[in-house]
Amino acid sequence: MARSRFAWLALIGLIGLVLAPDLALASDHPEGLSLGAMLPMWTCIPFAGILLSIALFPLVAPEFWHHHYPKVAAFWAVAFGLPFMIGYGRAAFDSIVHIYLIDYVPFIILLWSLFTISGGILVRGTLKGSPVVNVVLLLIGTLLASVVGTTGASMLLIRPLIRANGWRIHKTHLVVFFIFLVSNIGGALTPLGDPPLFLGFLHSVPFFWTLNLFSPYAFLSVLLLTGFFILDMWLYRKEPEDARSRMQAEESVPLKLVGLHNFLYLGGVVGFVLLSGSVKLGGFHLGHTELTYQNLIRDIGLVALGMASLRTTSRALRTENQFSWGPIAEVAYLFAGIFMTIIPALAILGAGTDGAMGWLVEGVKSDASYFWVTGGLSSFLDNAPTYLTFFQTALGGLHCDPGAVCGEPEKVALLIESQPRTLLAVSAGAVFMGANTYIGNAPNFMVKAIAEESGVAMPSFFGYILRWSLPILIPCFIVLTLVFFL
């Protein structure tokens, strides 16, 4: 064990010694440039490394990955963070503090609270996994996601879907389409549905403006639900005849929801999230990072709601619901590494035309390009800052009348009035294309972890992309572009 730890530390230290001088040279730029304008593209290598680790280790070394994935995530985090701080000093330290206090900690608290609360809600009774039942469950989840968020709807319905189809051999497609619809596309209709839309609400986009996404949301949902029903019907007929007969002959027990008081806690989660975006209570600085009281109240409230759910829901109910801490622990460890290594990618993108990806930002002109670039980057990066980058890019191209007040609220109103499809394209890209990869949106990876813990064989990182999102989602997005953004 000691040798193993020494080997990890030695390898991290070696990478730090190799990269630190190059980072120090890279930081030698004129004063006044933002960190994102100074960072070269190769600083994104550790981010690519952790993505490749998530993709390849479960295939080539599954036993190693199962026992050591937290160490792998920590390795890439330290391999980037150590030379980053050596090369950029206080600016690097402030960036790391900011992304963990402002992004990672609230992200994990929200996921933990929703995961904990939804784990106390159990659907008892007979749910027979037929194509009609499965379509109805996906439809309910898709509609519910805009009310309690994609994470809340995903955590609430993924276990009932898996249990209803526990008798089946072919189950992978159920979870994949669940990720497509419930964990991503379903969150398009309100700022509560998905973080990018909530960020837009905080930047003066009217709360109910997101209902303008209903047409592309409905179009895409109908396409995918229809495709799912056809695929599920075909696979259903391939199930062994005796298994189907036993399922159909099983005595039907009326459905009953147990743990209903947890819905009050879910409502509390929605309330605290809305509070944090609706009031301004001031704040304080920790170094160069500003912490606001409304966000602290939100995070404390979410933890309290999760703890209340644990105290008021019996262990027997959670056991019956197959609840365990494994999925949330896996997400917490892996995303701790992802959030560290994603710093240069987000900073470069945030620098706009001054950054190493300036050519990409500069090339975004049409509504279709806003949809595809925002969506493509949201497939691998955090979709909230990606949304904000191209939202601000769209606002930057507007010019108010001479002498008129021209703050952000006025520019947003002008964008909605003069270029409504541009904001629609940015919003749709950030929300819809989070389904392209496991890391495209917060609940994707958690749904995958819950499914695997329940015995469902899920595709690898690249397998998900090559076998599912590329052949199914990308053609749908192309059709969506032709209908709505050209």
Work out the number of other CB atoms within 10 angstroms of the CB of residue 162.
Answer: 22
pLDDT in tens, 323-359: 888 888 888 898 899 889 988 888 887 777 788 888 8
Tokens of 141: 């989840």
Which of 83-87, 219-223, 233-237 has the least mean pLDDT? Answer: 83-87
pLDDT score for 10: 47
pLDDT score for 405: 64
CA atoms within a 13 Å half-sphere pointing along the CA-CB vector of 91: 19
To the nearest whole percent, how much of the chain has pLDDT over 70? 91
The pLDDT-based confidence of 149 (bands split at 50, 70, 90) is: confident
pLDDT higher at 399 or 97: 97
User: Among candidates 267, 269, 277, which has minimal Cα distance to 191?
Assistant: 277
Work out the number of other CB atoms within 10 angstroms of the CB of residue 5.
Answer: 10
Work out the average pLDDT over 456-462: 92
Instruction: Identify the sign of the CA torsion 280, 273, 260, 325.
Output: negative
Q: Is the pLDDT of residue 4 over 60?
A: no
pLDDT score for 62: 86
pTM: 0.83
End-to-end CA distance of the chain: 59
Rounded CA separation 303/151 (Å): 16
Work out the average pLDDT over 315-330: 88
pLDDT score for 20: 47
pLDDT score for 394: 84
Work out the average pLDDT over 155-172: 90
Characterize the bridge pairing of strands 256-258 and 122-124. antiparallel
pLDDT score for 90: 86
User: Among candidates 115, 121, 159, which has minimal Cα distance to 261?
Assistant: 121
Tokens of 253: 């027990």
Give Cα separations from 160 to 20, 151, 185, 313, 332 (angstroms).
50, 15, 20, 18, 24
Which of 28-37, 132-141, 151-160, 345-354 tops mean pLDDT?
132-141
pLDDT score for 249: 67
Rounded CA separation 198/120 (Å): 26
pLDDT score for 14: 47
To the nearest whole percent, how much of the chain has pLDDT over 90? 38
Work out the average pLDDT over 91-112: 87
Owner of token pair 């389904």: 435
On average, the pLDDT of the chain sits at 85
Convert 364-375 to b/e letters by CB count within 10 Å (16 or more is b). beebbbbbbbbb
User: Among candidates 471, 486, 484, which has minimal Cα distance to 180?
Assistant: 471
pLDDT in tens, 171-210: 999 999 999 999 999 999 988 888 888 878 877 888 889 9
133: CB partners within 8 A, 6+ apart: 127, 164
pLDDT in tens, 52-78: 898 888 888 988 988 899 999 999 999
Work out the average pLDDT over 443-457: 90
pLDDT score for 2: 47
Q: Is the pLDDT of residue 22 over 70?
A: no
Work out the average pLDDT over 20-43: 65
Which of 110-119, 260-269, 300-309, 402-411 tops mean pLDDT?
300-309
Work out the average pLDDT over 266-278: 86
